[in-house]
Amino acid sequence: MSNTTDKTLDRYVYLHIGNREPNFSAGGVTIQVKLDDEGVVVDAWNDDECVASTWKTYDEMGVEVRELLTIEKQQKEKEDA
């Protein structure tokens, strides 16, 4: 995981196949996997064109998603009470 402050970027994983540089214009295929609010989305890219896509919900995979109760959220709930 990166130390970036934008945690939405941590929801993506890329696999570059057949291209030497990790960008979309170098040829080959790039597999992009994204964790979103409802499940996992997988896209295959050739240059800048999405050539295949699939997805599966967490429920279909038998994964229970729970909300993380952060310190900030706990403090806000105390203030609102």
Which stretch of DSSP H or E encloses residue 71? helix 71-80
At position 66, the amino acid (one-letter code) is R
Q: How many domains is the chain built from? A: 1
Domain holding 45, by residue range, is 7-80
pLDDT values of the chain reduced to their tens digit, one per residue, 81 residues = 344 445 555 789 999 888 655 554 556 899 999 998 899 999 999 988 999 999 999 999 999 988 777 888 888 888 887
Contact in structure between 33 and 13 (CB atoms under 8 Å)? yes
Query: What pLDDT does 7 receive?
Result: 58
Query: What pLDDT does 47 receive?
Result: 83
Residue 19 within any structural domain of the chain: yes
Contact in structure between 44 and 29 (CB atoms under 8 Å)? yes
Residue 2 within any structural domain of the chain: no
